[in-house]
Amino acid sequence: MLLGVVACEAWDHERTAEAWMSAERARIATPQLPPVPEIIDTLPAVYTAKTQDPFDPSRTTAGIGVSSKGARTDVLFPDTPIASLSIVGFITAAGGRVAVVRSGAVYRSVRQGDRIGLQVATVTQIGDQGLLLATDGAESQWLLRDK
């Protein structure tokens, strides 16, 4: 007789658990997501002579090699004395080493062979300590990296 009572009790717990699981399943609702808003297609902007194209390459390279007189040159920082320039760091790539040079808030990439500064010095070497610069009629000098 004891065996029958234990079996009924176990069967009763199983039915209670199944009833509870069914009630929980019914209570849990699938989440309702808000509808996706309609995508508004914007018309392309047409640039006229009165507005400037923000992606125009001449705007992104503005001021490179332009002196205060407006003459186009191939010299980086044409109005800045070499002593006022500072080297921020170096980038080594497959094409060689590039120095990042700063004058105030203006940064430029300088490669070997570039001409820089008011003295129009030619970069002959980019080393760990800085740039070796050669100026016509003067001895080569180092522009040392900022520490």
Burial 82-109 (b: 16+ CB within 10 A, else e): beebebeebeeeeeeebbebbbeeeebe
pLDDT over 50 (residue 5): no
Lowest mean pLDDT among 34-38, 76-80, 118-122, 137-141: 137-141
Predicted TM-score (pTM) of this structure:
0.50
Contacts of the segment 93-98: beta carbons below 8 A, 24+ positions apart? 96/126, 97/126, 98/126
Which CATH architecture does the domain made up of 57-144 adopt? Roll (2.30)
**Rounded to whole angstroms, how far apart are CA atoms 35 and 74?**
58
**pLDDT-based confidence at residue 124 (cuts at 50, 70, 90):** very high
Which residues 6+ apart lie within 8 Å of 126 measured at CB?
90, 96, 97, 98, 99, 110, 111, 112, 132
Write out pLDDT tens, residues 40-57.
Answer: 887 776 656 666 665 666
Three-state SS for 60? helix
Write out pLDDT tens, residues 25-40.
Answer: 888 877 788 888 888 8
Return the pLDDT at 69: 54
- List the one residue out of 105, 101, 104 whose CA is nearest residue 75: 101
Regarding beta strands 130-134 and 121-126, do their DSSP bridges make them parallel or antiparallel, or are they unpaired? antiparallel
Three-state SS for 132? strand
The residue with greater pLDDT, 59 or 119, is 119
